[in-house]
Amino acid sequence: MPRLMDIGLEQINGLLLEMASLSQQAVSASIDAYIKGGKAEGVKDMSHRIHALHRQVSDLSMEMIARYQPVASDLRFLKSSVEISYGFFRYGRYALDITEVLDMFGDLSKCDRNSVVDTARKTQEMIRMSVDAFAKRDVEMARKIPSMDDAVDSSYRENLRRTIQGKGDVKCSLSATLILRYLERIADHATYIGEMVEYIATGVEPN
């Protein structure tokens, strides 16, 4: 007969996997809208659903800690679940922020979008790796994520530098800076999720 603890842990794991899927879809939809133009359909609804799931994960994790006083690996998973859930929630929130930039600035088809598109692809790969690392408890994959974060940071800083120097069209520069900032934050959360996966598996606290 399964422990009540095991049933609760499996429920939390399922909620997190649903969040992971939705957050990937939301980010992809927002990036596709930037590349192709038009509206990012469904991102707002997905973001709200992810937020609701985040509250469920947080509430259930706290309830299980209070009721069952878990130790060792169970406690690590519950503590990490709240952090990972927040990371997935931020994926969805930043995806929504990107769509709001697109609504604000309108047609960006005449802008040079290569830098943003390249950074977006790197960020999407980091998201995929963070999700897969969590789903498979793959520590080796999780450890590869931080090295990718540097390229995303560099792209954001370089675009910010060009914007400050007044290089390029103002509309293109500002929209790119905002979107790159959101991508940079997504990459940071992907890195932290990877660190939490390692913590679940090994007990080694993130720095």
Q: Residue 113 belongs to what domain range?
A: 4-202
User: What is the pLDDT, as a whole number, of residue 6?
Assistant: 83
Q: In the predicted model, what is the mean pLDDT of residues 137-156?
A: 94
**Mean pLDDT for the stretch of residues 13-23:** 97
Torsion of Cα atoms, 32 then 33 then 38 then 39, to 10°: 120
C-alpha pair distances (Å), 144 with each of 32, 85, 126, 187: 25, 20, 9, 13
Closest CA to 64 of 15, 16, 9, 18: 9
The CATH number that applies at residue 95 is 1.20.58.220
* Predicted pLDDT at 168: 80
In a domain? residue 135: yes
pLDDT at 167 over 80: no
- Model pLDDT, residue 70: 85
Give me the pLDDT at residue 2, please: 55
pLDDT of residue 184: 97
Query: Across the chain, which distance is largest between two alpha carbons, in Å?
Result: 67
Per the prediction, the chain carries an average pLDDT of: 93
More confident residue, 195 or 6: 195
Residue whose structure tokens are 């659903």: 49
Q: How many domains does the chain have?
A: 1
User: What's the confidence (pLDDT) of residue 175?
Assistant: 94
For the chain, how are helix, strand and coil distributed in percent, rounded to 5? 85, 0, 15
What is the tens place of the pLDDT at every residue in 176-189? 999 999 999 999 99
Is residue 207 in a domain? no
In this prediction, residue 3 carries a pLDDT of 72
* Mean pLDDT score, 42-53: 97
- The answer to whether residue 118 sits within a structural domain is yes
Question: Tens digit of pLDDT for each residue in 63-116?
Answer: 999 988 888 889 999 999 999 999 999 999 999 999 999 999 999 989 999 999
**What does the pLDDT read at residue 1?**
44
Structural domain includes residue 82: yes
